Structure 1
Amino acid sequence: MKEYGQSILWLAYSYVKDKNLAEEITQDVFIICYKKMETFREESSIKTWIYRITTNRCKDVMKSKSYKYKKMTQSLFDHFVSKDDTPEDFLIRKTDEKELSLAVLTLPLKYREIIFLFYFENLKVEDISRLLSVKPNTVKTRLHRGRELIKQMYERGVGDGR
């Protein structure tokens, strides 16, 4: 939990966009991992195995009747703020991070999950491929298209009041 807890929370949040629900999913994931540790076959890294359980749990929650898609209540990047910043630096970085996080979170799920795993979790294309059970070329294509969608959002001025 110490090693992967925050990453799992972020991954869950990128799916459900609700902090409390993401925390519940994170707890569920570690309970599942504890109960199923003997089924881990070491065909992949433990990190990939835990991420796979997390994505499956998130998808299950999103399919459930009780799940309601909620608005983002907190920036994905809150913990990146440096205490050495001037108030101006803080405001500029907060605005940029919020715009980027909103852009990523508005992507369709198939692009959002790839962008998140590649950039925020630093997973390799091969690991993402195994995690999501898709071909490596599919990962590369979705990564490219996700980047293009974000670029188009910025070109249209999404998030800057235009």
Structure 2
Amino acid sequence: MLMNRYQGMVHSQARKAFLSEEEAEDFTQDVFIKAYESLSLFRGEAQFSTWLFQIAKFRLTKVNKKKSHIFTDWSEDVATVADKSKPSVVDILDKEETHLTLHSLIAKLPKSYQLPIRLHYFENKPLKEIANDLNIKLGTIKSHISRGKDLLRKWWSHEIEG
């Protein structure tokens, strides 16, 4: 029902942002999939259409990192409704995607780098404790974390640049 109601509005804006009808349709579908997945985040403090615009704007920002098209029509609508004192759906979705991307990159690291990084950065364990728990020299733990972080930085820059 919601898709039927707002699909035309999202699609007409997508047509302004993309060169082909196929890209506009794909983008429209992507926005509604993300909206469906994030429906539990809708707080009802703004109109559904405004919330949907925020999702579309966020998704388009991701696309625009790879393309040079500019999507401006929704910017003013979103800016006038957005409450700066609370995290917006865009902020929440961005953190969620960042979190998922980071964890997928960590999973690609060699096993000897993964565990020390997870223990130190996600479980806040001191390096000495990690070295004792894993029965590995402290210098080796530091080296594994440093090398793992270097790989993550490299991979992260490739993720962001596309």
Quickly name the TM-score band, shorter chain normalised. Answer: 0.3 to 0.5
- Tell me: higher relative CO, structure 1 or 2? Use CA pairs within 8 A at least 6 residues apart: 1
Bigger helix share: 2
Per the normalisation by structure 1, the TM-score is 0.45
